[in-house]
Amino acid sequence: MKPRILNFGSINIDHVYRVDHFVQAGETLASDSMSTVLGGKGANQSVAIARAGGDVRHIGRLSEADQWVSTYLEASGVDISLLESVAEPSGHAIIQVDRNGENSILLHGGANQGFENASLESAISEYNSGDYLLLQNETNAIAHAFDLAVSQGLKVVLNPAPMSNDILSLPLEKLDTLIVNLGEAQALASQDALDQVVDTLAAKMPETRIIITLGERGVVLVNNGDVTKVDATTANVVDTTAAGDTFVGYFIASIVDGLKDLEALDRACRAAALAVESFGAMPSIPTLDQLES
Ligand code: RIB
């Protein structure tokens, strides 16, 4: 039987504004358009796993007023049996996308910050050695979920986005896989130069598969002391939002599907490249059919 994937992560309603440039301090700027779409690093990664053909169960919290979110996630193939419907507002994000397709994101955690240890204990206790727990950094109680999963023999995959100081105190050497962008990697290593970042993280986490994404410069994989560079897939950038989430979801789904690291990275890079070619977070995540057509 294939390992199962449990994703403990955020669900946000994204309010996305197209702008010429990011609004500056003291400036009032008219946007060219506005749309409201589903997002959140956690939910995006669950949808990416599902669209990559994987089975994923999502531990999440959202407002009882936003039931369309559960419907959307379920229709996308995510197991929503561990979603809590709560009285608090859902998490949301205000996202500016500039003329180059780059984004700037302001988050409000809302329901994503209200997880209780007991519900995590109950959810994780259903999983066994060899199953995967995926974590990002937009919910509370990550350290507790990490400890529980490790003590039950689960493989923990961490995408510490957005980076914060709390991440530095996690037992990162116990991770199965760490997936970071360059800024996150630099923060974890307290180094700037990529070579030094790689050496420092490899020494800190000798048994962890470390993946550093470098945008259009590709990806660096560090595994068992070997460092491999993978080129990015070229893309016509429209909106980079959720490219990283697409990469993470596709990579894990591909590993669970039995692909080797480099094959999984190739698939994840191609999926992320397709994601940046269309607008929005979750709507831009491709299906495996789209990727292979
Ligand atoms: O990674 C993109 C996501 O970051 C957006 O969907 C937004 O909700 C923030 O969580």
Strands 83-86 and 177-181: unpaired
Domain limits, the chain: 5-11+40-90+113-292
At a CB cut-off of 8 Å and minimum separation 6, what does 1 contact? none
Query: Of these residues, 176, 245, 261, 266, which one is catalytic?
Result: 245
At 233 the pLDDT is 84
Q: State how far the Cα of 131 lies from the Cα of 125, in Å rounded to an integer.
A: 11
From first to last of the 293 residues of the chain, give the pLDDT tens digit: 899 999 999 999 999 999 999 999 999 999 999 999 999 999 999 999 999 999 999 999 999 999 999 999 999 999 999 999 999 999 999 999 999 989 999 999 999 999 999 999 999 999 999 999 999 999 999 999 999 999 999 999 999 999 999 999 999 999 999 999 999 999 999 999 999 999 999 999 999 999 999 988 999 999 988 999 999 888 998 888 899 999 999 999 999 999 999 999 999 999 999 999 988 888 899 999 999 88
Residue 39 CA to ligand 1 center (angstroms) comes to: 5
Phi-psi region at 104: left, alpha or beta (left = phi > 0; alpha = psi -120 to 50): beta
Question: Residues enclosing ligand 1, CB less than 6 A?
Answer: 10, 12, 14, 39-41, 44, 93, 105, 138, 241-242, 244-245, 281
Active site residue 195: no
Model pLDDT, residue 279: 83
Over 97-163, what HEC string results?
ECCCCCEEEEEECHHHHCCCHHHHHHHHCCCCCCCEEEECCCCCCHHHHHHHHHHCCCEEEECCCCC
pLDDT at 207: 96
Q: b/e string for 64-96 if b means 16 or more Cβ within 10 A?
A: eebeebbebbeebbbbbebbeeeeeebbbbebb
Q: How far apart are CA 108 and CA 128, in angstroms?
A: 33
Q: Whose CA is nearest to atom 8 of ligand 1?
A: 40
Q: CATH number of 5-11+40-90+113-292: 1.25.40.10, 3.20.20.70, 3.40.1190.20, 3.90.230.10?
A: 3.40.1190.20
